[in-house]
Structure 1
Amino acid sequence: MIIEIKNHLLNGKTILYPTDTVWGLGCDATNQEAVKKIYQLKNREESKSLIILVDSIEMLQNHVGNIPEKALEILKTSVKPTTIIYNNPKGLAANTIAVDNTIAIRIPKDEFCIQLIKEFGKPIVSTSANVSGEPTPKSFSEINEAILKNVDYVVDLHQEKIAEKSSTILKIEGDDVIVIRE
């Protein structure tokens, strides 16, 4: 199954997949056209940035100029899924990056996500599988029919509830840790 998903990602396709938090829409985070499809699926403006998943601190270093020491501490000690906003991303599609030149990146602890990213070899977009403005689906059965019909590939795995909520999002400015989403 992972090889099949990898091939879809390599061909600029979108996927609907279970992440370490909620059902997500994903694609190759380095492919601007694939990312554009995600925005279209969500009916969301491209000015709103997306979360990216990487498989390791090493992959994170390839896409973030400087990882603050505080971020490394959080990554090593956090128990629940935590997304961190980094400055000056590189090697990612321009439409994944916020207007202030930041990117939100998470290293999932979910085995399927890690295996998929490792096999693919590049970061993957991870945004909740909902149409913009609608609630985040907590299980597969809550996903909007329009998304199910228009996504290129649906991963047949974990169709029950994955988690109660999305990841915590933090931004680090100097020694300060700012909570963007609890």
Structure 2
Amino acid sequence: MAQVIKLYEENTDQKQLIKIAKAMRDGALVIYPTDTVYGLGCDITNKAALEKVAHLKGVKLEKANFSFICEDLSNLSDYTAQIDSSTFKLLKRNLPGPYTFVLNGNNNLPSVFKKKKTVGIRVPDNAIATGLVKALGNPIISTSIKDDDEVLEYTTDPSLIEEKWGKLVDIIIDAGYGGNIGSTVIDLTTSEPTLIREGKGSIEL
């Protein structure tokens, strides 16, 4: 069963984040809070863990549309092609925040994603999520926790997350009830920003 670790965003236990980050480096799958919904993530550099996440989502890893959770915009040039100043200003204005911005990828993408031309970047406004990335030292691959319920699209109750995912992942971070609205997804790969999915973030950029 997954280890459940209670953390509070207002006073996050750094020692616990370092411990979780070490487990992720060793291949652990972690469910953690963001500023929108709970996410399922792993270390972007651990291929075995990436394969497990893709398997749980029922998709081929090479075709999976996972987000890259970053601590801040300093990670941007690691995985994305050069962006112009207006795009950078738009990102800086809206991040951290409940957005996933789709950008053109570069040659530094992990080998399993080399065939993908684009990458979804997230910088959540959540101290646990960004603290975990900081402790890990590189982005986290992430995908939202979906719910089978016809009314609720996402699982928001940590006890239900444990019930459903406890045997499938290694660590569950319990930060209380999560949100039930996903991030707003904006495509920035063309001349004008294009709305892909309306979520928690305002579409008035």
TM tier, smaller: 0.7 to 0.9
Q: Which residue of 1 aligns with 2:187?
A: 171
Q: Which residue of 1 aligns with 2:175?
A: 158
Structure 2 CA distance for partners of 1:51 and 1:164, relative to 1, 3 Å:
same
Structure 2 CA distance for partners of 1:180 and 1:98, relative to 1, 3 Å:
farther
Contact 1:28 1:125 in 2 (8 A): yes
Q: Which residue of 2 aligns with 1:3?
A: 18
Q: Which residue of 2 aligns with 1:26?
A: 41
CA distance, structure 1, for counterparts of residue 116 and residue 123 of structure 2: 22
SS at the partner of 1:49? coil
The answer as to 2:154 corresponding to 1:136 is yes
Please report the RMSD computed on the Cα atoms of aligned residues, expressed in angstroms.
2.5
Structure 2 CA distance for partners of 1:28 and 1:121, relative to 1, 3 Å:
same
Contact 1:70 1:175 in 2 (8 A): no
SS at the partner of 1:154? strand
Q: Which residue of 1 aligns with 2:64?
A: 48
The answer as to 2:87 corresponding to 1:87 is no
Contact 2:43 2:49 in 1 (8 A): yes
Contact 2:28 2:49 in 1 (8 A): yes
Q: What is the TM-score when the length of structure 2 is the normalising length?
A: 0.76
- Unaligned stretches of 5+ residues in structure 2: 1-15, 199-205
Cα deviation 1:75-98 (Å, max 9, x = unaligned): 222274111111124434344x48
Q: Which residue of 2 aligns with 1:121?
A: 137
Contact 2:35 2:125 in 1 (8 A): yes
Q: Percent identity?
A: 29
SS at the partner of 1:30? coil
Contact 1:29 1:93 in 2 (8 A): yes
SS at the partner of 2:24? helix
Tell me the matched-pair count: 179
Q: Which residue of 1 aligns with 2:11?
A: none
Contact 2:44 2:141 in 1 (8 A): yes
Structure 2 CA distance for partners of 1:44 and 1:75, relative to 1, 3 Å:
same
CA distance, structure 1, for counterparts of residue 194 and residue 170 of structure 2: 36
Structure 2 CA distance for partners of 1:169 and 1:133, relative to 1, 3 Å:
farther
Contact 2:103 2:189 in 1 (8 A): no
- Unaligned stretches of 5+ residues in structure 1: none
Q: Which residue of 2 aligns with 1:111?
A: 127
Structure 2 CA distance for partners of 1:103 and 1:128, relative to 1, 3 Å:
same
CA distance, structure 1, for counterparts of residue 145 and residue 36 of structure 2: 11
Structure 2 CA distance for partners of 1:139 and 1:98, relative to 1, 3 Å:
farther
Q: Which residue of 2 aligns with 1:63?
A: 79
